[in-house]
């Protein structure tokens, strides 16, 4: 598999490329967003690691452009921007994960392998049931959209998977650890806000700010109530 690393800092770029090469992956690198798009557009990229602050085209802009062409290729942000808003924006644009610099080699490899495990298990394909009623929303995994009246919102593959999981466990509490194991493929769930950030983005898209659909169960996880 070929991984694209887009990172403007040469030391970080070389270090990340070395870490991934040592794991047996083929790595191509880009120092700016324009070159990264050229490499992706040429085809053959199996996973993308994006920095946010890059010359020419930011990681956010590049992610948006990539998702217009391919809504399922695994994509992770690796950035020094650690604010909650930055992470949420990245997930809203369709990223599968967000790793904050400075990072450890083992963490990067583990997070990439977790994303790949999910995709290898069919995470890019629609679930066996591909249409649901989710509160006031009609959700279609084939079009990756949710509709409610005149409102239409685009969903990422991760959000489709979350909705599918909640619908299949309607009324039951799903722990954070269980959700991370089922959807992220993590054998052991580390201390992370990744799931909570994805839930926040999904709530925002569906207008669920009062948590009437996806309820937080303090200290445990989440529950979907019809």
Strands, sheet with 131-134, edge to edge from the N-terminal-most edge strand: 131-134, 137-140, 145-148, 151-154
| Domains recognised in the chain with CATH numbers | 2-123 (3.40.50.2300), 131-224 (1.10.10.10)
pLDDT, position 66 = 93
Whole-angstrom Cα distance, residue 131 to residue 140? 5
pLDDT, position 91 = 81
pLDDT, position 173 = 93
Instruction: Give, for all 226 residues of the chain, the pLDDT tens digit.
Output: 899 999 999 999 999 999 999 999 999 999 999 999 999 999 999 999 999 989 888 999 999 999 888 888 999 999 887 677 777 788 888 888 888 888 889 889 988 888 887 776 555 444 545 788 999 999 998 888 999 989 999 988 888 889 999 998 999 999 988 888 778 766 655 566 778 888 998 999 999 988 889 999 998 999 998 7
pTM greater than the 0.75 cutoff: no
């Amino acid at each position: 598999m070929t991984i694209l690393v887009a990172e403007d800092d040469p030391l970080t770029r070389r270090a990340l490329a070395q870490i991934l090469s040592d794991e047996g992956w083929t790595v191509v690198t880009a120092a700016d967003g324009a070159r990264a798009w050229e490499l992706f557009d040429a085809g053959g990229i199996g996973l993308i690691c994006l920095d946010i602050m890059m010359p020419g085209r930011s990681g956010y802009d590049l992610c948006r452009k990539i998702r217009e062409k391919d809504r399922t290729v695994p994509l992770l942000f690796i950035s020094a921007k650690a604010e909650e808003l930055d992470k949420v924006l990245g997930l809203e644009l369709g990223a599968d994960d967000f790793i904050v610099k400075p990072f450890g080699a083992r963490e990067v490899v583990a997070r990439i392998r977790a994303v790949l495990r999910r995709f290898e298990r069919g995470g890019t394909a629609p679930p066996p049931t591909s249409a649901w009623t989710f509160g006031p929303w009609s959700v279609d995994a084939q079009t990756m959209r949710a509709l409610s009246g005149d409102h239409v919102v685009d969903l990422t593959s991760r959000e489709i998977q979350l909705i599918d999981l909640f619908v299949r466990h309607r009324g039951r509490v799903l722990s954070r650890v269980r959700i991370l194991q089922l959807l992220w493929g993590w054998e052991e769930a580390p201390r992370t806000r990744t799931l909570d950030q994805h839930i926040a983005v999904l709530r925002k898209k569906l207008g669920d700010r009062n948590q009437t659909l996806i309820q937080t169960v303090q200290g445990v996880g989440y529950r979907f109530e019809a």
